[in-house]
Amino acid sequence: MKLYWGPHTCAIGIHVLLEEAGAVYETEKLDVAGGATRQPPFLAVNPKGKVPTLMRDDGSVLTEFAAIATWIARTQPDKALLPADADGEARAIETMAYVVGTIHGQGYARIFAPEKFEPSDVVHQKLGLGQSRVQAQGRAIVEEGFAILDTQLGRHPYAAGDGFSLADAALFYVEGWAEPEGIVLPINLQRHYDRMLARPAIERVRRLWGLA
């Protein structure tokens, strides 16, 4: 297998799951910020032009965080990356979907790429302090999402229960984006993030990404 990834992307969550699963894989680092995912060589692999992208051993390609994460979990059932019971599975997928779709897709996306959400005229863009209205909106979405998940994490140590699952890999990557953006993690999320940083698989991935 080959994981295509780029710095400061959610692909780190998939990389963590591959390590947690003990999978045999290789990686290819792409300059996402420099536009490498929009160039013909990568578009031939994934026409969507984004990471994470996973090329499997048979040459077929999986895209989208949730699909890749679920496939890894399903193909490595002994690693318990997806709860075995129906309710636990639903809660893990529910949390992962909220993280990827709302906290990342609606919140951080506005912070990182406000031009995709706001009018081009200066009057609508500026809020002051170097932040646009759309970026402020994105920050509010992230903070609200974190507050909701903080309550959830107050009831159990992991994102969807008492054990690590694919939901934790998703939550981990958005927690990691908080400090650079001046966002303070609520207490239970900070404890969760610290717990994730102590996992050997995450330590290995962070070293490979140059983060540790």
Domain match, 191 and 90 both: yes
Domain match, 90 and 187 both: yes
**Does residue 188 lie within any of the structural domains?**
yes
Domain match, 142 and 193 both: yes
Which pLDDT belongs to residue 128? 52
Q: Is 62 helix (H, G, I), strand (E, B) or coil?
A: strand
Determine the structural domain holding residue 59 and report its residue range. Answer: 2-79
Centre a 10 Å sphere on the Cβ of residue 53 and count the other Cβ atoms it contains.
Answer: 24
Domain match, 103 and 188 both: yes
pLDDT per residue rounded down to tens, the chain (212 residues): 999 999 999 999 999 999 999 999 999 999 999 999 999 999 999 999 999 999 999 999 999 999 999 999 999 999 999 999 999 999 999 999 999 999 999 999 999 999 888 766 555 555 555 578 899 999 999 999 999 999 999 999 999 999 999 999 999 999 999 999 999 999 999 999 999 999 999 999 999 999 98
Tokens 């081009």 locate to 120
Look at residues 91, 4, 78 and name the one whose alpha carbon lies nearest to residue 44: 4
Domain match, 71 and 23 both: yes
Q: Which domain CATH number covers 47?
A: 3.40.30.10
Which pLDDT belongs to residue 124? 52
Which pLDDT belongs to residue 73? 98
Domain match, 94 and 73 both: no
Which pLDDT belongs to residue 119? 66
Look at residues 141, 151, 138, 143 and name the one whose alpha carbon lies nearest to residue 183: 143
**Does residue 44 lie within any of the structural domains?**
yes
**Does residue 15 lie within any of the structural domains?**
yes
Domain match, 193 and 107 both: yes
What are the structure tokens assigned to 34, written together? Answer: 């420099």
Domain match, 115 and 17 both: no
Domain match, 110 and 62 both: no
Distances (CA, A) of 35 to 13, 14, 63, 65, 195: 21, 21, 18, 20, 34
Rounded Cα distance between 47 and 29, Å, is 17
Which pLDDT belongs to residue 118? 77
**Does residue 168 lie within any of the structural domains?**
yes
Domain match, 195 and 109 both: yes
Which pLDDT belongs to residue 130? 58
Which pLDDT belongs to residue 122? 56
Which pLDDT belongs to residue 156? 94
Stated as kind and residue range, the H or E segment containing 43 is helix 40-43
Domain match, 95 and 188 both: yes
Q: Report yes or no: 37 and 51 within 8 Å, Cβ to Cβ.
A: yes
How many structural domains does the chain have? 2
Which pLDDT belongs to residue 46? 98
Of 79, 111, 127, the residue that ends a domain is 79
